[in-house]
Amino acid sequence: MSIGKRAVAELIGTFWLVLGGCGSAVLALTFLGGGVQLGIGLVGVSLAFGLTVLTGVYALGHVSGGHFNPAVTAGLVAARRFPAGELIPYWVAQVLGAVAAAAVLWLVASGKPDWAPGRFAANGYGDFSPGKYSLGACLVTEVVMTFMFLIVILGATDARAPKGFAGLAIGLALTLIHLISIPVTATSVNPARSTGPALFAVGPALSQLWLFWVAPLVGAALAGVVYPAVAGESPKG
């Protein structure tokens, strides 16, 4: 499969992840007329992120590998599962997909009377953290959660793992990660997912975006080194 086709698959998959995951937070947590709230809560948003990855992996994983996340691509490079020369095209496609999804979400959400973007599902620390967690707490959370996400991905896609279940394991892992860390950072573990909403959010989302690139990439790179050291090299084929 050509790099162009695989990059388009990554763009579509990341678009779906941001539209589904962030869309659930922006659209399904808003108030309806008459004071009635359509609220899916933390569990609902967590499931939405997990389901987008699960469905995206099964739909497009056979085309591009189903990364949909610059940190995943970086972790696979560190683990020598993915060629370093193709990292930048994947990153560009993933960020473009996330920005496109955030733009569509903004167009839809802004069609509601009196709608205000607010944090627009953006990630943040300090006063912009949902629970007002400190920079240090948010940094540790994003590094550790991304590390564990990549450990699951590397293990589930290992040639020695049971076949056909990788998408399920990865989707459930992302759900669990969101259940843990939404109160801390609104959960990134994905620099592209953070970049799209940050462009439309009100507040310091853009000035804080650096953390949601640095921390996930560090966590992913660590996992890419640790998993092969613990599990050994995955046999080819």
Query: Domain spans of the chain?
Result: 3-231
State how far the alpha carbon of 204 is from the alpha carbons of 25, 112, 195, in Å. Answer: 18, 24, 12
Other beta carbons less than 10 A from residue 39's beta carbon: 13
State how far the alpha carbon of 61 is from the alpha carbons of 13, 22, 54, 55, in Å. Answer: 9, 21, 10, 9
Share of the chain above pLDDT 70, in %: 94
Higher-confidence residue of 177 and 117: namely 177
State how far the alpha carbon of 20 is from the alpha carbons of 47, 50, 99, 136, 137, in Å. Answer: 10, 9, 13, 29, 27
Other beta carbons less than 10 A from residue 182's beta carbon: 19
Which residues make beta-bridge pairs with 31? 37
Place of tokens 């991905």: 153
Please answer whether residues 143 and 189 qualify as being in contact, where contact means their C-beta atoms are separated by less than 8 angstroms. Answer: no
Provide the phi-psi class of 123: left if phi over 0, else alpha when psi is between -120 and 50, else beta. Answer: beta
> What integer is the mean pLDDT of 60-74?
97
pLDDT band at 34 (very low <50, low <70, confident <90, very high): very low
pLDDT band at 31 (very low <50, low <70, confident <90, very high): very low
| pLDDT over 90 (residue 198) | yes
Q: CA–CA separation, 123 vs 119, rounded Å? A: 8
| pLDDT over 80 (residue 161) | yes
Q: Whole-model pTM?
A: 0.93
pLDDT band at 40 (very low <50, low <70, confident <90, very high): confident
Question: How many Cα atoms within 13 Å fall on the side-chain side of residue 70?
Answer: 25
> What integer is the mean pLDDT of 123-150?
97
Which residues make beta-bridge pairs with 166? none
In terms of CATH architecture, what is 3-231?
Up-down Bundle (1.20)
Q: How far is CA 157 from the centre of its chain?
A: 18
